[in-house]
Amino acid sequence: VLICPSVERMAFSKSSNAPTHVIQAADDEVVSSQAVTSWCKEQANVNIQLVPGASHFFHGKLPELKACLTQILEDEPRITPTTSISQRTS
């Protein structure tokens, strides 16, 4: 999940085949929502959700941001780890 990714200022590589979700503030004053939308269209397996009326820090729009995140987490299939954390550190 990427929230307002700065695709113009940072080098984002092409996405993998893994599902990627982008939540973008429609009225973002820091990151161009047009640039993010264009970047998403160029990627494979990327979904974008624009939050109308939201600024970069989602002032007054945190319930909408939470709803987007909740929906993404509920819709994505659960991934079961093949090793436990203790097995990875030993």
Q: Is residue 28 very low, low, confident or very high in pLDDT (cuts 50, 70, 90)?
A: very high
Tokens of 87: 């097995």
pLDDT of residue 26: 98
pTM above 0.95, yes or no: no
15, pLDDT greater than 80: no
Q: Is residue 24 very low, low, confident or very high in pLDDT (cuts 50, 70, 90)?
A: very high
In angstroms, the CA 60 to CA 71 distance is 19
pLDDT of residue 10: 86
Whether 46 and 15 have beta carbons less than 8 Å apart is answered as yes
Beta bridge partners of 21: 47
Query: 76-81 — which CB contacts under 8 Å span 24+ positions?
Result: 76/19
